[in-house]
Structure 1
Amino acid sequence: MTDVPPLAEILETARVVALPMHTRFRGVDVREALLFEGPQGWAEFSPFAEYDDAEASTWLAAAIADAWHPRPDAVRDEIRVNATIPAVPAERVPDVLARFDGCRTAKVKVAEAGQGLSDDVARVRAVRAEMGPEGRIRIDANAGWNVDEAERAIHALAPFDLEYAEQPCAGVDELVELRERIRYLDIPIAADESVRRAEDPLAVARAGAADLLVIKAQPLGGIRRALGIVAEAGLPVVVSSALDTAVGLSLGAALAAALPALDYDCGLGTASLFADDVADARPHGGVVSAARVTPDATALARLEAPAARRDWWLARLTRCHALLDADPR
């Protein structure tokens, strides 16, 4: 992207929303996002609050590209998606799974701060019991383990027939060592944070640290940059969400729709984690549409963030826009 629209054009349609969640996830009970409309439609800017402006500006580049430039051609109209199970007690698993209509795959959060391996085992066991032997289960540790902890945990969870383990450790070198240690278990390793939060998103592929990549459109700077990374990496990918609203999920679905090959169910069903949203992007029959989403006007009004939070997001948008204006992506 070489052109950055004037800030005033973005501010003209900017809306800040606060979406309540059914269950606390990634440390939040309410997910905030800034939405705006460009010539191509609505886009989302929603980097997590702890990200600095330099990292957040990449998310803004993705949103501007989506609002001002056509999306790549799609090779599929629908995307199969997984259910996402937060780090809930095992007895709550059936209720969470029930919100993901028709999903044959579940991603289970593990390595939650304040919990232990026994909690993870109980949660995964409950998912397997609910989904039956044909269901697919993947785990996501969000880099919460060191190598020894990861080896022990994956060994303990292996009897539940894991599809793969996502970001069990933080560092690329740790992933390389762990992958070698658990080779006998035949459980693939997926890299997420080692791609989307890395200065060099291809380092994990070059090091042989993962069997597949988890990619997210906003953090990688948009669909076309993500497609370039996938092409260079030469590994299978899963397209996932960054806990986006329906608008941001539409961007992820467009990325998944443009990929030449899509061997895994994608993590784009996370609208089911929200108690309310700006449009209905929940999976139906285990799939989501790849079509662009337009937020509902009444939902935008209903979910409008408090004035103080709106001011915070507009100030953040202004700072990130200034960074892009000085150095377009």
Structure 2
Amino acid sequence: MIPTLADLLATARVVALPMSTRFRGVDVREALLFEGPQGWAEFSPFVEYADAEAATWLAASIDFAFAEQPAQLRARIPVNATVPAVEAARVPEVLARFDGCRTAKVKVAERGQVLADDIARVRAVREQMGPEGRIRVDANAGWNVDEAEHAVHALAEFDLEYVEQPCATVADLADLRRRVKHMGIPIAADESVRKAEDPLAVARAGAADLVIIKAQPLGGIRRALDIVSQAGLPAVVSSALDTAVGLSQGAALAASLPSLEYDCGLGTASLFADDVADARPEGGSVSAARVVPDATALARLEAPAERREWWLERLRRCHSLITAL
């Protein structure tokens, strides 16, 4: 049952969260929050996404706010630190924000940078975390197959847990996986799952060893759980640079997975200078309990009037799309 637009607008709040460090080209993260019978939810597709894609995010948010969610199997979720594409000298400062995290995801293949920058950054992370720390890298499809193979060889000395979305296409991921299989470094698929018309294609093609899943882009917790079940691969629940409210949905998804073999990418609240609630990791984990935004924080972080109207109009368009289905 889809709520009316009036139901959503009645509690809608548009917020603008400042980032501590530029991440994914974002300095300020905007989101629209609303409350339903089950609690608060977040609608926050990135501003460049077209309405057809953004509507899937809205469907996920409506489901989280208005429908009962699957049973949770765990109360806390182990999470990784996230290291943006900063210069190596800033790595200690970034890692210090992630209390107790034993795993770090390091952004690589940043536009305007070169492999030497990635190597220096990953080396700095390894030096900070020591030999027992776990390091995974995320290229966001920034390499072609040859570049990715070269990069994996160059970064292998740092004992990588896995390489996330090194190439853009399923075929390229499969090719790369064959090339580096002898090295024992797994390949993870993110964009090839959440932005694909067929999120199971990567599993059928044998193109990945694990899948990265995100609640909003996949249409909600139930659909994400179904994709993981059909893929038959280990899953890592990750953030879409959500506010504390969106992270709560991700934590609920992670808490519902039958198996959780890897630390999740749900510690990204530590990348914000301010948030609607405190969802930062403590002792390397976050709570799976539902988040209620702080009224004072909602007022403090309220977006400017023109940005609020932009989001409300986007909400209207996407609501129209999902009600027409």
TM over 0.5: yes
Whole-angstrom CA distance in 1 between matches of 2:137 and 2:214: 17
Q: Which runs of 5+ in 1 are unaligned?
A: none
Which residue number corresponds to residue 303 of structure 1?
A: 301
Which residue number corresponds to residue 282 of structure 1?
A: 280
Which residue number corresponds to residue 250 of structure 2?
A: 252
- Are 2:220 and 1:225 equivalent residues in the alignment? no
Q: What's the CA shift string for 1:21-52, capped at 9, x where partnerless? A: 00000001000000000011000000001110
Whole-angstrom CA distance in 1 between matches of 2:41 and 2:205: 34
Amino acid in the other structure paired with 1:203: A
- Are 2:176 and 1:178 equivalent residues in the alignment? yes
1:62 deviates by: 0.3
Whole-angstrom CA distance in 2 between matches of 1:183 and 1:66: 39
Match of 1:84, SS state, is strand
CA RMSD of aligned residues (A): 0.3
Which residue number corresponds to residue 45 of structure 1?
A: 43
Q: What's the CA shift string for 1:103-132, capped at 9, x where partnerless? A: 000000000000000000000000000000
Whole-angstrom CA distance in 2 between matches of 1:41 and 1:179: 42
Which residue number corresponds to residue 19 of structure 1?
A: 17
1:185 deviates by: 1.1
Amino acid in the other structure paired with 2:236: V
- Specify which of 267, 270, 288 is matched with residue 269 of structure 1: 267
Which residue number corresponds to residue 195 of structure 2?
A: 197
Q: What's the CA shift string for 1:56-75, capped at 9, x where partnerless? A: 00000000000001111100
Whole-angstrom CA distance in 2 between matches of 1:37 and 1:254: 16
Match of 2:211, SS state, is strand
1:6 deviates by: 0.5
Which residue number corresponds to residue 54 of structure 1?
A: 52
- Specify which of 91, 94, 101 is matched with residue 92 of structure 2: 94
Which residue number corresponds to residue 157 of structure 1?
A: 155
Q: What's the CA shift string for 1:274-312, capped at 9, x where partnerless? A: 000000000000000000000000000000000010000
Match of 1:99, SS state, is coil
1:265 deviates by: 0.1
Match of 1:242, SS state, is coil
- Are 2:82 and 1:78 equivalent residues in the alignment? no
Whole-angstrom CA distance in 1 between matches of 2:168 and 2:17: 29
Moved over 6 A (4+): none
Match of 2:249, SS state, is helix
Amino acid in the other structure paired with 1:206: R
- Are 2:295 and 1:294 equivalent residues in the alignment? no
Q: What's the CA shift string for 1:112-161, capped at 9, x where partnerless? A: 00000000000000000000000000000000000000000010000000
Which residue number corresponds to residue 188 of structure 1?
A: 186
Identity %: 78
Whole-angstrom CA distance in 1 between matches of 2:181 and 2:204: 18
